[in-house]
A and B are shown apart, each in its own frame.
Chain A
Amino acid sequence: MNSLVKIENLKKYYRIDKGLLKKKSYYVKAVDGISLSINKGETVGLVGESGSGKSTVARLLLNFTTPTENTIYFDDIDIFKANKSEKKSIRKKIGIIFQDPAASLNPRSTVYESLKRPLEINGTAKKDIHSYIMNTLELVNLGEELLYRYPHQLSGGQQQRVCIARAIILNPEFLVLDEPTSALDVSVQAQILNLLLEIQAEKGLTYLFISHNLSVVRYISDKIGVMYLGQLMELGKVEQIYKNAMHPYTIGLLTSEPIYSPKDRGRKKLILEGEPPSLMNPPVGCRLATRCPFSKDICNHENPAFREIEPEHFVACHFAEVLDYSMYVDRQ
């Protein structure tokens, strides 16, 4: 296919040594077997709560950390085994946007300086730098007058636009967006989301959009992956996830999501009791078994396989085909 990013059974474990003589070792299985592919021009949303591992996936994609097992292919190149020049060219093709725009900008650099630096490092000709910056500024709808301001003199929305500008100024192919609107007001969030869609259309970008907010992910994604405790519970096209979700965790998220109108108050919620187990030495069977209202014996012993239930719709649940969720969501 047209896969820009291919991830197969990716694992990232962190080792923690405890005890007096550091004899006991625990493994924090932050990412425990993720398989995912992102096609060119597509937006894949990655949804999950804290501890799900979605941020770790982002860090692996950017090569901020290396995997414990298996790898990630970008444009068919293994990003961890690539040589120096391949790594350099890959780095130019991937951009990142973080959650907190204020913390993502050097407080000592003006907007101009923050945008100039990536160009300088990656060998842009001096004479072109100014025009690149001006063009990008226009793309993100920022006025020229903000060029010489410092981050603390900008609003949250403006700061995030600068971050977006910085991320696209090298003309990347792929953007990793880690909770880009979570720290913003609702009205600003709408502006930024629309801007992201605009830029994507104009530059043919591919997005990995990470968020804990299902409605935001639904708005911007083509495909959605639902993560829990380091594993993918479900992966499918947006309509499949919303109209035909097949994993109890997905249903739990969908029904816990704040509603749009008080009229929906009476809706049936799939309650996941208790708290997620610790990431250190997680349960042997299905990760959700301790909280899932449908769990049976097999769920405690066997980790369900990530299977394709219908075309392009993957679910990791022993009972995916049999469970009926119609009382929770409106199945059209």
Chain B
Amino acid sequence: MKYLSILKDMIKNKTFMVGLFIFISVLILAVFADKIAPYSYDLINVQEKLLSPNEQYRFGTDQYGRDVMSRVIYGSRITLKVGLIVVAIETLIGVSLGLLAGYYGGYLEKFILFVTDLTWSLPPIIMALAIVTMLGPSLNNVIIAIAVVSWAQFTRIVRVKTQSIKSLSYIEAARAFGENDVGIMTRYILPNILSSIIVLSTLALPTAILSTTSLGFLGLGSQPPDPDWGLILKEGIAYMNQAPWISIFPGLAIVYTVLGFNLLGEGLRDIMDPRLKA
């Protein structure tokens, strides 16, 4: 049916396929971290500290003798978990507000737009910093902080799309036989903008990951000994001269993942909704 042709488009799109490969690789790392990582991420072995990459410790060891590779592998769990949860929250808030604003218009729309623009104009990292400072450093607070400042992008696009669908005949026909507002929003408008939402969510992933990693880098996210990539990076800075590998490998992991998700999102956009390119 229609899905078959989408599948064909997906396979043809190189950007998407590369992004998909990267996503799946990170996913596998995260899910099977226990089986893949040679060591536990918090296994301290002070005698083996600061060793450069070798047979035993492929990425070298850090200042506590912990295997950097294992920490990077386990770190993928944090990265993915954080990325997905943040995007889920953003999507939920952003789409709901966008639907309400687009559908009802009037003062509700004006109010939502006001709040959205406000949120949009604040620099996300600063906002997140403020929130985390208030609530205290922890991974969960970072998730909340990032999600809360990033939903604006969904609201705007969903609002516009809702407005354009709202005036179509099939919406009027539905109202004519008795659909109420909630029914119309959930059964008629939402399914018709779903592909755009999927694309936006996927594109929001790399930003979410980058933001949380940055906060982790500032020490505001996960706390030691969690193998958060940003945290590892930060800790490795002090040893840049002696053991640069401590920062390099998580850094590479971040680049790899973020790049991959970007490609996935862009590929998906080209396939499902090229009009979002603006």
A108 to B168, CA, bound (A): 14
How far does the alpha carbon of A331 sit from the alpha carbon of B137 in the complex, in Å? Answer: 91
A132 vs B115: C-alpha distance when bound (angstroms): 48
Q: Is the CB of A100 within 8 A of B179?
A: no
Partner of B177, one of A64, A91, A106, A107: A91
Are A104 and B169 in contact (CB-based, < 8 A)?
yes
Chain B residues with Cβ under 8 A from A166's Cβ?
173, 177
The reply to whether the CB of A20 lies closer than 8 angstroms to some CB of chain B is: no
Binary CB contact string for chain A from 154 to 174 against chain B (1 if under 8 A, 0 otherwise): 000000000100100010000
CB proximity to B under 8 Å, residues A75-134: 88, 91-92, 94-96, 98-100, 103-108, 117-118, 121-122
Instruction: Tell me, in angstroms, the Cα distance from A122 to B174 when the chains sit together.
Output: 12
Q: Are A98 and B179 in contact (CB under 8 A)?
A: no
B105 contacts chain A at the CB level, 8 A cutoff = no
A88–B172 touching, CB < 8 Å:
no
Instruction: Give, as a whole number of angstroms, the nearest-CB distance from A173 to chain B.
Output: 14
- A121 and B179 contacting across the interface, CB-CB below 8 Å: yes
| A121 with B177, Cβ < 8 A, contacts A98-B169, A104-B169, A106-B170 known | yes
Is B178 a contact partner of A122 (Cβ separation < 8 A)? Answer: yes
Verify if A62 is at the interface (C-beta below 8 Å from B).
yes
Q: How far is the CA of A170 from the CA of B173 in the complex (A)?
A: 13
* List of A residues within 8 angstroms of B170 by Cβ: 103-107
Contact with A along B161-179 (1 / 0, CB 8 A): 0000000111011111111
Interface residues on B, range: 10 to 19
| Residues of A contacting B2 in the complex (Cβ-Cβ under 8 angstroms) | 150
Per the 8 Å Cβ criterion, residues 140-199 of B in contact with A are 168-170, 172-179, 183, 187-188, 191-192
- Of B2, B168, B173, B192, most buried by chain A (CB within 10 Å of CB) is B173
Q: Would you call the interface of chain B mostly helix, strand, loop, or mixed?
A: helix
> How many pairs of A and B residues are in contact by the CB < 8 Å rule?
57
Q: How far is the CA of A166 from the CA of B179 in the complex (A)?
A: 13
Tell me which residues across on chain B come within 8 A of A96, comparing CB atoms.
172-173, 176
* Contact-residue size bin, chain A (C-beta under 8 Å from the other chain): 20 to 34
Residues of chain A lying within 8 A (CB to CB) of residue B188: 106, 108
0/1 per residue, A181-224, Cβ < 8 Å to B?
00000000000000000000000000000000000000000000
Bound CA–CA A94/B168 (angstroms):
20
Closest to B190 in A: A108
Docked-complex contact A163 and B191, CB < 8 angstroms: no
Minimum distance in angstroms from A325 CB to a CB of chain B: 38
Closest to A178 in B: B169
A163 in contact with B192 given A103-B168, A121-B178 (CB within 8 Å): no
B187 CB contacts on chain A under 8 angstroms:
106, 117
| Minimum distance in angstroms from A92 CB to a CB of chain B | 8
Indicate if the CB atoms of B178 and A88 lie closer than 8 Å: yes
A106 contact set on B, CB distance < 8 A? 170, 174, 187-188, 191-192
Instruction: Pick from A88, A106, A107, A121 the residue with the most CB of B within 10 Å.
Output: A106
**Residue in A94, A100, A117, A150 whose beta carbon sits within 8 Å of that of B174 in the complex:** A117
Q: Give min CB distance, A270 to chain B, whole Å.
A: 35
B230 to chain A, nearest CB (A): 41
Nearest-neighbour CB distance to chain B for A1, whole angstroms, equals 27
**CB within 8 Å of B: which A267-287 residues:** none
Return chain B residues, CB-CB under 8 Å to A91: 176-178
Task: Determine the distance from Cα of A62 to Cα of B177 in the docked complex, in whole angstroms.
Answer: 10
Within 8 A of B (CB), among A287-317: none
Binding site for B on A (CB under 8 A): 62, 64, 88, 91-92, 94-96, 98-100, 103-108, 117-118, 121-122, 150, 163, 166, 170
Given contacts A104-B173, A107-B170, 14 further A-B contacts (CB under 8 A): A64-B175, A64-B176, A88-B178, A92-B178, A96-B176, A99-B169, A104-B169, A105-B170, A105-B173, A108-B188, A108-B191, A117-B177, A122-B177, A163-B173
Give me the interface of B with A, judged by CB distance under 8 Å.
2, 168-170, 172-179, 183, 187-188, 191-192
Closest 3 CB pairs of A and B: A118-B177, A104-B169, A108-B191
30 contacts between A and B (CB under 8 A): A62-B176, A88-B178, A91-B178, A92-B178, A94-B176, A95-B177, A96-B173, A96-B176, A98-B169, A98-B172, A100-B169, A104-B169, A104-B170, A104-B173, A105-B170, A105-B173, A106-B170, A106-B174, A106-B187, A106-B192, A107-B170, A107-B192, A108-B188, A108-B191, A117-B177, A121-B177, A121-B178, A121-B179, A122-B177, A166-B177
